[in-house]
Structure 1
Amino acid sequence: MVGNSPAAGAVGLHLVGGLPLLRPDEQVFTAMLDGWRNQQLARSLAFSTIEGREKAVRAFARHADAFPWAWSPQMVDEWLGDLRSVRNLRRSTLRNYQGTIRSFCAFVTDPAYGWAEACQERFGTHPVQVIHEWNAAVHVQEAEADPAKRAFTRDELQAFFDHADEQVGRVRGRGRKGWLPAFRDAMLFKTAYAFGLRRNEARMLDVVDFGRNPRGPEFGEYGVLYVRHGKAKKGSPPKRRSVLTVFDWSAEILQQWAEEARPLFPTAGPGALWPSERSSRVGFTQMNTRFCTYRDSLGLDQGLDFHSFRRSYVTHLIEDGWDARFVQEQVGHEHASTTSIYTCVSS
């Protein structure tokens, strides 16, 4: 309770006490999820986070074939065991699922929200916490990324960029449509590497996100990149940072793209730097498909993904003698240990 008002997500805001329900099990469960959603919104969690959590809770309920007031730790063990053995999910993913179920159970068992009392009145039982220290995966090391994931070697990176450029010339030389999206993606890939960007950071760039750097006048209008859609912490808006241009060629390709190629897209407006043929901004599917096609065509291993551009950026700058603290600031890491994890051997 906040003063005389019920807390966001409280049972009284979603169920009328004593009112008979046509399908009480399903309706109470749905009301619980609605209440949990409101409680998370009150904590300023992202909509995508909330929706992902709800999907996980519903998936567990389907697997257990039971509603929250009948859940048990054994049901969680069976569900997570199936996810790992059948779907081969990563440990970090399983731990996220555990955290989601723990959070949901903490919500419905908290007396402040009244769900346990309501379930006791309607069903003669109440929800309990089903994730405990003894049945939860422990985060025992700082980095749990797939060990196959790595940076490009310098030769691999050059081969990738050369192949991307060749595809533009090949498609255009045949007089076929598609050369412009191919050119866009080649520029996008190079930009992601040139500024050490995450996939969403690269996708969400706008034309106005570049500016002059007084200490780097040689880069003109592309001396600094203002990242406005950085990786956010839970309950926080996207993290912003400024990334200084370090490669001479990056300013040249960006100017060429912005002045010569981008205006040819009929969807190009004043906003997105990377428009698509049908919308104002390129989608993740297009980016991923193109990347995987080029990678596989070159016979490169599956350990290379879009994030490898970022790994390569960190690795190559460190190898070239740039100050480690500068590199850390460029990629937006709070801790130097995180940057060190990104560093691979590129030769």
Structure 2
Amino acid sequence: MVRRVDLAGAAHLVLPEGVRHLDPETAVFDAMLSGWERQQQSRFLRPETMAPRVRLIRRFAEFAGLYPWRWTPGEVEAFTADLVSGARPRAHSTIRGYQLTIRLFCEFITDPRYGWPTECEQRFGQVPAQICHEWNTVAHLSDVEGQPGRRALTYEEVQALFDAADARVEQIRSRGRKGSLAALRDAAILKTTYAYGLRRREVARLDLADFRLNSRAAGYGLFGSVQVRYGKASRGGPPKRRTVLTVPEMDWIVEVLNQWREEIRPLFSPAAHPAMWVTERRGRISINYLNEMFTRTRQDAGLDGVHDLHSLRHSYVTHLLEFGYPPLMVQQQVGHAYQSTTALYTSVSDEFRNRLLEQSLHDHPELWETAP
């Protein structure tokens, strides 16, 4: 017999004893989800990680038409079949993520230490089981599971994106409409995202004070580097920090940022707000707005719809490598724990590879000789 312990998420901590529920099945299911949230909170997972997981479990239960103690592997198979059918089938990585979430939930409710098997058996005469197994879930067989069409942008495509953002400013001004300041801000955001290889959240959470002097590049002034304080966290850990240096090939960003800081940002009347990117209502820019802004600019530039704001980060990695920076420095600039992750971002151009080939042939002339 398993001794009852006060683990975060245990049944006896979220289901009050001696209470008779009008709808006991719904009450137990809601308590399971509440307990699962507590268990994840004890592991320091963020709300933005937990909320989608809980929503997915509710969605799966609604699809199955059954409560967790009645789920079987067949429900997972039917759910997966539904995801891959229809006009918009889900991506391989998305389905694997859904199945992983269901597996984690089942691990929680089948663990006897949390008391849910005993609770379900006493109330409903059934116990929950693990329904996700190797034989009915998607295997992780490839390092790259993204859409094949998604790649780093070429230099010409990056320039087209920037030109479209700048053109929008002039279009708004020529029509005598409001919004030119916001368009100037959006153009500066796109250029900053690319020039430092930032993620969406990293861009949105930037403060003025995050830009720092680099004594080795004093000519860049306050924009010699940027301290990223909200980097991607590891499981249950705090956001990772890193310092990204301004590289000479992208030092045009210094003029952009100086103009934003000294001339444009004050017109938003931000008062003492610390955010680098402020809205017309003196708030911080949101991640959703960044996504919408990029989509609009991408359409204006006539670029493929498969690209999103993260494509600029992929482009940054690729272009730094083409500029000749060592992979280790590129890895540190973008905050990857492993070089293999940086490699996944890379799609160096044919022109760059041909230059490397020509250099190799120049260094080894014997390779030019015709084989007998």
The offset of 1:253, in angstroms, is 1.0
Question: Do 1:210 and 1:222's aligned partners in 2 also have CA atoms closer than 8 Å?
Answer: yes
Question: Do 1:6 and 1:13's aligned partners in 2 also have CA atoms closer than 8 Å?
Answer: yes
The offset of 1:157, in angstroms, is 1.2
Which amino acid is 2:166 matched to? D
Query: Does residue 53 of the first structure (1) align with residue 42 of the second (2)?
Result: no
Which amino acid is 1:147 matched to? P
Q: Determine the C-alpha separation between the residues in 2 that align with 1:269 and 1:213.
A: 25
Which amino acid is 2:171 matched to? R
The offset of 1:4, in angstroms, is 8.5
Question: Do 2:200 and 2:310's aligned partners in 1 also have CA atoms closer than 8 Å?
Answer: yes
Query: Does residue 222 of the first structure (1) align with residue 201 of the second (2)?
Result: no
Give the counterpart of 2:267 among 264, 280, 298: 264
Q: Determine the C-alpha separation between the residues in 1 that align with 2:251 and 2:36.
A: 50
Equivalent position of 1:188 in the other structure: 189
Question: Do 1:262 and 1:268's aligned partners in 2 also have CA atoms closer than 8 Å?
Answer: no
Q: Determine the C-alpha separation between the residues in 1 that align with 2:111 and 2:333.
A: 42
The offset of 1:245, in angstroms, is 0.6
Q: Quick one: percent identity of the two aligned structures?
A: 48
Question: Do 1:268 and 1:280's aligned partners in 2 also have CA atoms closer than 8 Å?
Answer: no
Which amino acid is 2:74 matched to? Q
Which amino acid is 1:173 matched to? S
Equivalent position of 1:197 in the other structure: 198
SS in 1 for 2:215: coil
Query: Does residue 276 of the first structure (1) align with residue 279 of the second (2)?
Result: yes
TM-score by length of 1: 0.95
Q: Determine the C-alpha separation between the residues in 2 that align with 1:29 and 1:304.
A: 39
SS in 2 for 1:303: coil
String of CA shifts for 1:11-38, please: whole Å, max 9, x gaps.
1111234542211000011111111111
Q: Determine the C-alpha separation between the residues in 1 that align with 2:303 and 2:15.
A: 56
Give the counterpart of 2:293 among 290, 293, 314: 290
Question: Do 2:273 and 2:282's aligned partners in 1 also have CA atoms closer than 8 Å?
Answer: no
Equivalent position of 2:114 in the other structure: 113
The alignment of Structure 1 onto Structure 2 pairs a total of residues equal to 345
Equivalent position of 2:178 in the other structure: 177
Which amino acid is 1:311 matched to? H
Equivalent position of 1:77 in the other structure: 77
Query: Does residue 33 of the first structure (1) align with residue 33 of the second (2)?
Result: yes
The offset of 1:289, in angstroms, is 2.4
Question: Do 1:318 and 1:327's aligned partners in 2 also have CA atoms closer than 8 Å?
Answer: yes
In the TM superposition, 1:61-210 aligns within 5 A as 61-86=61-86, 87-210=88-211
Question: Do 2:245 and 2:333's aligned partners in 1 also have CA atoms closer than 8 Å?
Answer: yes
- Ranges in structure 2 where 5+ consecutive residues have no aligned partner: 352-372
String of CA shifts for 1:150-173, please: whole Å, max 9, x gaps.
111111111221221122123223
SS in 1 for 2:153: coil
Question: Do 1:153 and 1:345's aligned partners in 2 also have CA atoms closer than 8 Å?
Answer: no
Equivalent position of 2:361 in the other structure: none
Question: Do 2:269 and 2:282's aligned partners in 1 also have CA atoms closer than 8 Å?
Answer: no
Q: Which range moved further: 185-194 or 332-341?
A: 332-341
Question: Do 1:9 and 1:39's aligned partners in 2 also have CA atoms closer than 8 Å?
Answer: yes
In the TM superposition, 1:286-325 aligns within 5 A as 286-325=289-328
SS in 2 for 1:7: coil
Q: Determine the C-alpha separation between the residues in 1 that align with 2:197 and 2:97.
A: 26
The offset of 1:339, in angstroms, is 1.2
TM-score by length of 2: 0.89
- Ranges in structure 1 where 5+ consecutive residues have no aligned partner: none
Question: Do 2:161 and 2:298's aligned partners in 1 also have CA atoms closer than 8 Å?
Answer: yes
Q: Determine the C-alpha separation between the residues in 2 that align with 1:100 and 1:298.
A: 37
Q: Determine the C-alpha separation between the residues in 2 that align with 1:314 and 1:91.
A: 25
SS in 1 for 2:241: strand
